């Protein structure tokens, strides 16, 4: 899974900002933009992002795998940021490989961008969510963000599955 994010960036320079990540994902190998609609006003979606993202996503995950010929121990620290604007709410998720992964290129403060979710109003009672993320390994994360946006499920994604 750790490789996925690196593949998104490919051999090019790593996106240094959320905006660079948004621009890189559509054309990236294993990159995907997913959109859906939440039947809640932007303010409610933003409030849920603000409440759930830090609690659920600011986590550290250690992955240990071992075979007869190899041993891998990766510590990944995730860092979530929610940015609220009058007409937009952004959720940025970065991951910082503390050990076990060599990352080519410059790593932005907070770690490599892994997912960006933008919430923008469709009208007073509906919100559009655009999620920029790798196409592999982010299914649970995307479902969780969908649940927060719609208000249907406020649970946290098991980040060991991301």
Partner 1 sequence: MRGFIAFVGVTLLAACSSLRDYPHVAPENVQVKSKLESGSMFSSMRGAVHIHELDGTCHTSYVGTVKLDQPSVALGLPAERASYLVFVFAGSSFLGGSSSSTSAGTVLKPRPGYRYEFTVTYKENIYNVVLRESDPRGGSHELPRQQLKGCSA
Q: Which is nearer to partner 1, 54 or 121 (CB)?
A: 54
Sign of CA dihedral 19, 22, 25, 31: positive
Q: Smallest distance from the beta carbon of 75 to partner 1, in angstroms?
A: 9
Q: Which is nearer to partner 1, 15 or 94 (CB)?
A: 94
Distance, first Cα to last Cα, the chain: 7
Q: Which is nearer to partner 1, 116 or 159 (CB)?
A: 159
Q: Smallest distance from the beta carbon of 78 to partner 1, in angstroms?
A: 8
Q: Which is nearer to partner 1, 6 or 159 (CB)?
A: 159
**Integer Cα distance of 6 and 84 in angstroms:** 28
Asked if 157 and 139 count as a contact pair (C-beta separation under 8 A), the reply is: no
Q: Smallest distance from the beta carbon of 151 to partner 1, in angstroms?
A: 13
Asked if 97 and 86 count as a contact pair (C-beta separation under 8 A), the reply is: no
Q: Which is nearer to partner 1, 9 or 59 (CB)?
A: 59
Task: Write the burial class of residue 102 (CB in 10 Å: 0-12 exposed, 13-18 middle, 19+ buried).
Answer: exposed
Task: Write out the residues near partner 1 by the rule CB under 8 A.
Answer: 54-55, 58-66, 77, 140, 143-144, 147, 153-161
Sign of CA dihedral 13, 22, 96, 61: negative
Here the tokens at position 155 are: 């649970």
Q: Smallest distance from the beta carbon of 140 to partner 1, in angstroms?
A: 4
Q: Smallest distance from the beta carbon of 98 to partner 1, in angstroms?
A: 11
């Amino acid at each position: 899974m750790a490789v996925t994010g690196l593949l998104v960036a490919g051999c090019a320079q790593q996106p240094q900002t959320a905006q660079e990540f948004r621009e890189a994902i559509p054309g990236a190998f294993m990159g995907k933009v997913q959109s859906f609609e939440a039947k809640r006003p932007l303010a409610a979606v933003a409030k849920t992002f603000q409440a759930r993202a830090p609690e659920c996503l600011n986590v550290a995950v250690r992955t240990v795998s071992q075979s007869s010929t190899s041993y891998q121990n990766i510590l990944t620290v995730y860092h979530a940021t929610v940015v609220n604007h009058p007409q937009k709410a952004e959720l940025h998720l970065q991951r910082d490989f503390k050990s076990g992964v060599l990352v080519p290129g410059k790593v932005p403060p907070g770690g490599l961008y892994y997912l960006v979710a933008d919430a923008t109003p469709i009208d007073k009672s509906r919100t559009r969510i655009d999620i920029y993320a790798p196409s592999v390994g982010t299914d649970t994360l995307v479902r969780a963000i969908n649940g927060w946006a719609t208000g249907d499920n406020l649970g946290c994604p098991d980040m060991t599955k991301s």
